[in-house]
Amino acid sequence: MREGISMSGLALEGITKQFGSFTAVEEVTLAVPHGTFVCLLGPSGCGKTTLLRMIAGLETPSDGHIRLDGADITGLPTHRRDFGMVFQSLALFPHLNVADNIAYALRIRGVPAEQRRRRVEELLQLVHLPGYAERPVARLSGGQRQRVAIARALAVSPKLFLLDEPLSALDAKLREAMQVELRQLQQKLGITTIVVTHDQREAMTMADLVVVMGEGRIRQAASPIEIYRRPADSFVADFIGSTNLLEVARDGQGRAVVAGVALSGLALPEGVAQARLSVRPEDVHLTAPGDGRLTGTVTFLRDLGGTIETYVEVAGTTVVAVSTPRERPDVAAGATVGVLLPPEHCVVLRQ
């Protein structure tokens, strides 16, 4: 048996899941300290839900171990894990009212009626639904239903709170509001929480730790800002926010050369002849054309009110620069401009 990587909190050690010959999750190793809000993020089919289901005990890993506070829980049945779950497959009981839905697990555990009533009141306060105890769930809005599902999952003060795309059925406005609410709730309770989402904005809003997955593997696990500022590879850079990905080569002096221009202040490590450079659109500066900088032609301006995107063609590649109305570039389509890529904002990516 392998050594536990962390005694306190949740530890995933080399978790693999195969369905027949297909590998849905491959060698996932991750340490989640107590009180952390984790978002499992990635495109459809990358294995997020399968990983969450293994943590929940709804699926058995083909290989690897899951530990909680050092104890191996890999084979422990779901009902003995004491986890709170909000999964699409665990819909609210339609024939029960709000209070009975929330108190369901408490009733099964034989908690006395008066204690259950008080706990339901407390949880309804927590999810901003005071006074809704007697309401049939059929008469709730989508957002209210999700709040009740969250309250139901929290009723027994779970050790781990697991949610699979909890906000995906809500409209954009409500979804954004609920992201903030969910984060605030988690911080208030200090509960270790793992949420599956394919929405990078959602992950950036809520998570302490973003785990980007691709084809069953962890591509990067770090804080939202680290993932955004220092993406590990092109997959992560492209998946999180939008970015400019440029081919870069190393010249004889080790300088980074993009479209025939050596960028001052940026070097490629020895042994790396070619790589890709990620530069966020808000970091690209447009200037007058001049020596020692990239030159391009403005092809399109997209004015979104709050931000302005300028599309510049540089040696056959489109570079996007984003600015605010206050710093609006004084250019029109067809203009020749200089394109400045500040070295401190250029990230050389693994291919």
**Binding interface with ligand ATP (CB under 6 A):** 19, 22, 24, 42, 44-50, 198
Of the pair 45, 265, the CB lying nearest ligand ATP is at 45
- Rounded Cα distance between 117 and 132, Å, is 12
Write down the least CB distance from residue 41 to ligand ATP, Å.
9
Write down the least CB distance from residue 212 to ligand ATP, Å.
11
Burial 42-79 (b: 16+ CB within 10 A, else e): beeebbbbbbbbbbbbbbebeebbbbbeeeebbeeeee
Write down the least CB distance from residue 24 to ligand ATP, Å.
3
Residue found by looking up tokens 């809005």 in the block: 141
Write down the least CB distance from residue 28 to ligand ATP, Å.
12
Of the pair 149, 258, the CB lying nearest ligand ATP is at 149
Write down the least CB distance from residue 47 to ligand ATP, Å.
4
Report which residue type is found at 126: L
Of the pair 45, 136, the CB lying nearest ligand ATP is at 45
- If one counts every other C-beta atom within 10 angstroms of the C-beta of residue 241, the result is 16
Write down the least CB distance from residue 58 to ligand ATP, Å.
10
Write down the least CB distance from residue 23 to ligand ATP, Å.
9
Of the pair 28, 261, the CB lying nearest ligand ATP is at 28
DSSP per-residue letters across 148-215: HHHHHHHTT--SEEEEESTTTTS-HHHHHHHHHHHHHHHHHHT--EEEEES-HHHHHHH-SEEEEEET
Of the pair 14, 338, the CB lying nearest ligand ATP is at 14
| Radius of gyration from C-alpha coordinates of the chain | 25
The SS3 of residue 265 is strand
Write down the least CB distance from residue 46 to ligand ATP, Å.
4
Of the pair 212, 339, the CB lying nearest ligand ATP is at 212
Residue found by looking up tokens 């008080």 in the block: 118
DSSP per-residue letters across 80-143: GS-EEEE-TTS---TTSBHHHHHTHHHHHTT--HHHHHHHHHHHHHHTT-TT-TT-BGGGS-HH
Angle of CA points 36, 38, 41, to nearest 5°: 170
Of the pair 21, 351, the CB lying nearest ligand ATP is at 21
Of the pair 66, 246, the CB lying nearest ligand ATP is at 66
Q: What is the 3-state secondary structure (H, E, C) of 135-150?
A: CEHHHCCHHHHHHHHH
Of the pair 42, 84, the CB lying nearest ligand ATP is at 42
Write down the least CB distance from residue 43 to ligand ATP, Å.
7
- Bridge-based pairing of strands 193-197 and 37-41 is parallel
- Bridge-based pairing of strands 160-164 and 83-86 is parallel
